[in-house]
Structure 1
Amino acid sequence: MLTPTTVDVLIVGAGPVGLITAIGLEQQGVTSLIIEKRYRDEQATYGRAASLFARSLELLEQVDLTEDLVQEGFISRGGVNFKDGKRVDARGWNLMYQHSKRSFHDYNLNLRQRYTEDVFRNRYANQGKTVWEGWELVQFSIDTTPDDGCNISAVLNHSSLGEKHVRSKYIVGADGGSSTVRRLASIAEDVDPTTHQWIRIDGKMSTDMPNADVGFGSIATSDYGHILWVKTDKDAHRIGYALTPSLLAKYPHGISIEEATAEAAEGMKPFKLSIDRIDWWTHYKIKQSVVKQFQKEQFILLAGDAAHTHSSGFAQGMNTGVHDATNLVWKLAGTCKGWYEPCVLESYAQERHAAATHLIDVDKKAAACISGDIPKEYAGRGKTAGELVTAIFMENVGFNIGLDVSYESSVLTGTASDITVKCGGRAPDALVYEPGTQLPIRLYSAMLRDGGFGRWSILVFVGNKATNSGLYSLMTETLSKLVKRHPGMIRLITILGNATGSAWDALGRSAWGKFYLDLHGKAHSGYGVDLSQGAIAVLRPDNIFAFGTDLKSCGEVGAYFEKFTLN
């Protein structure tokens, strides 16, 4: 195997987070090498993470992976909840789907991690890249002495191929809860080991529980906690439950797969459970942890389970990893290309550490209640553990599904005038039209049509052509200079609030960037833009709303970018 002595980024760990990061970097012309100490057939075959939420699917669109994923998984737009054999609709999964309607991905995609990774590996292979399997990181150090533009010297080892030396600008640890990068970098964790233990079983199984194939099910029990039921990909389902104190006492020396399936059938009663094939199962102890640093000494970065671990109670594992990877990739790529001051990459650590810390706080409460325990802060409320699961989920539902994850305190978060969207929060999506066509296109999709991965988007909401076309012409020269100063970094979108025959007819000149019509006013109203006034919205490459101003104050857009860009 030929070894490149120099790459931009060395990625350790070829799970979803490592693969997304590598794919995203390659899309932006940043070279990467991804290593995985285990061979593919040695890894857990089917299990682990199994569901992607709405915001994760939006974020994966930024690296062009969502379309391939939805071809493989099960689209779930509903869930069922039972207690004592009776359906309880006013709780649980159905409430989550109501909150997902803000996204055009108003569903969950149920796809087991093995198949998710297959999609990612195929895309990586299509980029002409290969995961280096069987290679283990032995040691690395920060070394800027050689005049090669790199900062990291790493030593890799393979049991049969020997030792390799790699130089890189950055190293990313995406190598799971037992991260070698984290250990070698001496990055400390805040750890809560907990006493909770859970069972998860995947395979071909059936039940007479009503509506068992809508996507998700939850059964409140006294002896098994909240039983999880998931319709996954192909012909498989997943069932999961807690090993409550009574079950742990029943199996003091551990539980076998035969015993685990028997208990699953018992917990499903009064419904029947039949298991025809077992693909994968696990009995695991929940550990909740978050590292003290997502970034160390500027060039060492952690993401995914290497940075935080938690239960699977609210299906946050891969979803949180997707947020990490898509937050990191555009900042790291732009930094490697010389676009940004160091504060941009530092914002990855700041933003994602805060999000992970909040996630762990929620997960501690949720995992306890799912296991049948009531956390101290909820004692005395007169609610059962099952009722508290629903309460905790609903208190945090927007965060849980990712649509309300926000970064208010980030260096990249500016101010907004003439726009009502919260700076640092998700930018709204909407349907707009190209001139002439009667088929709408999503605003998110329109922004990606240029194929420019990792680009910022400046949206100019012109509003009503009769009142704002003059302002548009005055604004164009100012913003065009900004775009020319940062080639390849910024895309331009003009959105008119009414019908017209052409951009020239509406604006008295050619449109700035791509030109779209907001025929029903949903894009303007989604951003809180007055049609009589118009406004400018600046969106980060991960479609986080960063800055907004009125058309007259277009010079402030350049001042915003000057805070963190080079050149």
Structure 2
Amino acid sequence: MIPDTADVVICGAGPVGLLIALGLAQQGIDTVIIEKRERRAQEALGRACTLYPRTLELLEQLDVADEMNQVAFTGRTYAVYRDGKRQIRQTWQSVLPYMDSSFHNYIMNLRQHKSESIFASRYLADHGRAVHYEWELKGYDIDTSLADGHNVTVSVSNEAAGSRNIRCKYLVGADGGKSLVRELAGVTMGGTETTYKWVRMDGRMKTNMPEPNVMFASLETKTHGNVLWLRLDNDAYRIGFALTPRLQEKYPDGPTQDQAVAEAVECLKPFELEIERVDWWTCYSVKQKVAQTMHKDDYILLAGDAAHTHSSAFAQGMNTGVHDATNLIWKLAGTLKGWYKPGVLATYDTERRGVALKLISIDQRAAAAVSGDVPAEYGALGLSVEEAMTSIFERNLAFTVGLGISYEASVLNREPLAATLLAGTRSPDALLYAPGPAVPVRLHDITHRQSRGRWTVLVFAGHTCCTRDGLVTLRRQLEAGEGAGDGVDTQRWSQAYQLATVMVGSTWSPWDAFDGPSIGRLYFDKDGVAHARYGVYPDSGAIVVVRPDGIFAFAAPLHELEKIWQYFDAIFA
């Protein structure tokens, strides 16, 4: 039954909408998610499948990565072929070791409908909420005079149940490239529509291509562009190819399924291919566009394909959508809880739209190369299409796998006064130990999984023989709320962050190391790796602030707690 009120109404039950609904529900936010299509029809649509290391780290925050790994195909191997011969491309020789900076040092292939099923099932099982399928958005009105804060009235309808109004505080459009939320909000898309057309096909396939079960393979052809080959979940594979100008002339209205199958067989030559079953296929035109804003009229937010569209050249669609979702969840939930000043939610647009614009810039070049064209700037250098593709990927591999995505300086990302990380970048992971068990604990488990929308203040204690006096003083200041300035009550912020102490080495008891209890939960950095990755000198220590989405935000010396309070004062209400 559609409720009369909710904190947030989410339009669109693709992976992005489902993740936003799940993440908000995990933080106690009342959500309603509607989808205009019947469930099977919705699941038969887009087929994003490839997920990179940083995306998997973010999915850990929502406790779905483990379940996805149980059914996905995961791999660390690749193959490139040209004229039937195996090629070595430095591109992937570079990216595979780079992924070792994450404990998710692999790539996951899992078809979108499987991901959606996991997200929706978790939403129902853990929170008693179900997607309202076959409910269509008809319109919305905003009235800021309402005292209860439910300023948005969303009108929806169902063929059998009729029309309903839902009063909510925010409306999120995660309803795809043809977003009705975006259209109703009057948000235009800036960018280009290319002449490139690509075919993607999933199903059961047999081939004599060597090593067909690698993570992915590509075939450099003159007839079908750069051909994609992926091993998927279950017994399925994916093949993808470009409709080159010759093929577009051959199929002016686009190919039928039988014609697409015939071209798939042709594009894999000299290897043989038999397509035994087609699960899904599409022929689509490449569009590269970004919404003018992802946050309209204070109460309307856009995410995923509703905010940006591009090719599948480097498999960025769902990855970018997951980044959108996890960036939005903590900001929106905290705003609804009254934790944040208005400027925090506004950073959703500046951060994620900035990333989308960079993605489009990369995609314009990558899509051309995949389609068999040399981008102009590379053509001027006399490079071949294969050389151009290698250059594009190598220059952007950190961004592509997500570990190098970063955000500009802002109220959230301040130049640190300690440590050597850049604010706005991913916080590193490392293995720590809790007192007692000899079982390691990942630092990301503390800053990601345990945070549930809260910030993490990590007290890097270093060598406690050198930092003990400073830690004793810091503990006293935290307990008394000292250093925050006149009229600032730090206690009202305490629910929005968690504390943890990380020391080099180990100790029998916190009292032996700190002359008292540790600051928050205690963890041992036995070999100093965590301190080194954060750039904290062990003899000095530091206070490090990590955002709820695992982004490094700020750091100050142990003796400058007031700088931490000043940082939070610009963010917390």
TM over 0.5, yes or no? Answer: yes
**Alignment partner, residue 298 of structure 2:** 298
The Cα shift of 1:92 comes to: 4.1
* Letter of the structure 2 residue corresponding to residue 191 of structure 1: G
C-alpha separation between the residues in 2 aligned to 1:10 and 1:46? 22
Q: CA deviation at 1:242?
A: 0.4
Matched position secondary structure for 1:367: helix
Which segment drifts farther, 96-105 or 231-240?
Answer: 96-105
Corresponding residue for residue 31 of structure 1: 30
Report deviation, 1:151: 1.5
Q: Determine if the alignment matches structure 1 residue 204 to structure 2 residue 211.
A: no
Question: Which portions of structure 1, spanning 4 or more consecutive aligned residues, are displaced by more than 4 angstroms?
Answer: none
Percent identity between the two aligned chains: 46
**Segment of structure 1 superposing worse, 331-340 or 525-534:** 525-534
Question: SS in structure 2 opposite 1:154?
Answer: strand
Gaps of 5+ in 1: none
Deviation at 1:43, TM superposition (A): 2.5
Instruction: Indicate yes or no: 2:555 matched with 1:556.
Output: no
Whole-angstrom CA distance in 2 between matches of 1:91 and 1:272:
27
- Distance in 1, Cα, partners of 2:76 & 2:45: 23
Q: How does 1:124-523 map to 2 (within 5 A)?
A: 124-126=123-125, 127-447=127-447, 451-480=450-479, 481=481, 484-523=491-530
Check 1:117–1:27 CA distance in 2 against 1; reply closer, same or farther (3 A cut). Answer: same
Q: CA 1:114/1:483 → structure 2, altered by over 3 Å: closer, same or farther?
A: farther
**1:13 equivalent in alignment to 2:20:** no
Aligned-partner Cα distance in 1 for 2:178–2:110: 24
Partner of 2:84: 85
Range with bigger deviation, 44-53 or 365-374 = 44-53
Alignment match of 1:546 (pick from 550, 553, 564): 553
CA distance in 2, matches of 1:533, 1:552: 10
Contact 2:9 2:168 in 1 (8 A): yes
Cα separation, 1, equivalents of 2:361 and 2:272: 36
Q: Map Cα deviations across residues 140-178 of structure 1 (whole Å, 9 max, x no partner).
A: 021123322211011111111110011110100000000
| Structure 2: gaps (5+ residues) | 482-488
Q: Which one is further off, 302-311 or 479-488?
A: 479-488
* 1:113-124 mapped onto 2 (5 Å cutoff): 113-124=112-123
The Cα of 1:38 is off from its aligned counterpart by 0.3
Whole-angstrom distance in 2 between the partners of 1:444 and 1:380: 45
Checking the alignment, whether the CA contact within 8 Å between 1:479 and 1:558 is kept in structure 2 is no
Q: Residue type of the partner of 1:205? A: M
- Determine the C-alpha separation between the residues in 2 that align with 1:173 and 1:410: 25
Offset from partner CA, 1:237-271 (integer Å, 9 cap, x none): 00000001111122223212222122112211121
Q: Secondary structure of the residue that 2:168 maps to in structure 1?
A: strand
Question: Considering only aligned residues, what root-mean-square deviation do their CA atoms show, in Å?
Answer: 1.4
Name the SS for the 1:283 alignment partner. Answer: strand
Contact 2:196 2:371 in 1 (8 A): yes
Contact 1:328 1:348 in 2 (8 A): yes
Counterpart-to-counterpart distance in 1, 2:329 and 2:146: 26
Instruction: Give the 3 Å change call, closer, same or farther, for CA 18–46 of structure 1 in structure 2.
Output: closer
Deviation at 1:383, TM superposition (A): 1.5
The alpha-carbon distance between structure 1 residues 389 and 461, as it changes in their structure 2 partners (threshold 3 A), is same
The CA distance in 2 between the partners of 1:386 and 1:220, in whole Å, is 8
> What is the CA deviation profile of residues 305-333 of structure 1, one whole-angstrom value per residue up to 9, with x for unaligned ones?
00000000100000000000000000000
- Matches of 1:468 and 1:285, distance apart in 2: 60
In structure 2, relative to structure 1, the CA distance for the partners of 1:503 and 1:521 (3 Å cut) is: same
